[in-house]
Amino acid sequence: MASELCPGAGKQVWPELLGAQASVAVATIRRENANVRPVVIPEGSFVTADFRCDRVRVWVKGSTVSRVPGIG
């Protein structure tokens, strides 16, 4: 879905980061796509419902990525 809404945005999803440490995930996302800003979000937090092509939410439980990061 993100690829349809954000054409030309580069890499848009990072399934390989599920279970990784948050700091590793953030560094990997920054290295692989300089057009997005990774944002670490603790599980259970409230977030806005807006869709942004320049943001990747990195959901974490403790310090471990708990959902597949992707543009949105």
Report pLDDT for 6.
85
Candidate CATH numbers 3.30.70.20, 3.40.50.300, 3.40.50.620, 3.30.10.10; the one for domain 2-71? 3.30.10.10
Tens of pLDDT along 33-71? 999 999 999 999 999 999 999 999 999 999 999 999 999
CB contact set of 53 (below 8 Å; sequence gap of 6+): 2, 5, 6, 9, 35, 36, 71
Question: Which of the 8 DSSP states describes residue 20?
Answer: S
